[in-house]
Amino acid sequence: KQEVTQIPAALSVPEGENLVLNCSFTDSAIYNLQWFRQDPGKGLTSLLLIQSSQREQTSGRLNASLDKSSGRSTLYIAASQPGDSATYLCAVHMDSNYQLIWGAGTKLIIKP
Amino acid sequence: EAGVTQFPSHSVIEKGQTVTLRCDPISGHDNLYWYRRVMGKEIKFLLHFVKESKQDESGMPNNRFLAERTGGTYSTLKVQPAELEDSGVYFCASSPQGFGNEQFFGPGTRLTVL
């Protein structure tokens, strides 16, 4: 059974710092992995989708990496801003079905 | 292009009542999904439609939950009768035809059962 873990559960850093959020999964038979952000009381915004054959994917200040064999993904945020404050979630899409399996998220606070 | 929409945004009902949640996917998306997040837990898959057909309902918690997707367009999720443990946020997502495509999520419906 696939399990997705995100550590830490919460992170607070000063504005301007580069930071890394971690996501690990127990079953490497994934098709792809998505990173999302959720603002308080709002929906889920897809940030990046990285296919199992890819090593990384970039969008603006965000860079997601994937090491499928070791069961790890990271989301790198460069030059953090207060507007980056949100909960970041990773979800894996298995080879075998359509559902996403989710981590619990990392709550990120960027201090001005 | 309009995103995934959900109605209502909030619903507060008493235990034993019935509630129906609605999801309108992105136009043209064949795949529609329901997920929910209960307090303090991870988001969990409920079910998946391809057009009007249920492909996977392995995540539905029990027979108090009924999902439909009439005509392969919008979907409804009915909870009858609602229990306290049904409280949470219900998310709907859609994706284009085919396997492994990016899923786009709606804003969610926050359900509170008193």
The reply to whether residue A99 touches residue B104, judged by beta carbons under 8 angstroms, is no
What is the pLDDT at residue A47? 96
Q: What is the pLDDT of residues A59-70, one digit of tens each?
A: 999 999 999 999
Q: What are phi and psi of A55, to 5 degrees?
A: -100, -30
Residue B87 — very low, low, confident or very high, per pLDDT cuts 50/70/90? very high
A13-17, A20-24, B24-28, B69-73 — which is least confidently predicted?
B69-73
Q: What is the pLDDT of residues A7-37, one digit of tens each?
A: 999 999 999 999 999 999 999 999 999 999 9
Q: What share of chain A is helix, strand, coil (3-state, %, to 5)?
A: 5, 60, 40
Measure in Å the smallest separation between the Cα of B3 and chain A Cα atoms. 11
Q: Which of B58, B91, B102 is nearest residue A49 as measured by Cβ atoms?
A: B102
The reply to whether residue B44 touches residue A102, judged by beta carbons under 8 angstroms, is yes
What does the alpha-carbon distance between residue A29 and residue A6 come to, in Å, rounded to a whole number? 18
The bridge status of strand B19-24 relative to strand B5-7 is antiparallel
CB count within 10 Å of CB B73 equals: 13
Q: Name the residue with higher pLDDT: B39 or B51.
A: B51
Residues of chain A contacting residue B42, judged by C-beta atoms under 8 Å apart? 4, 102-105
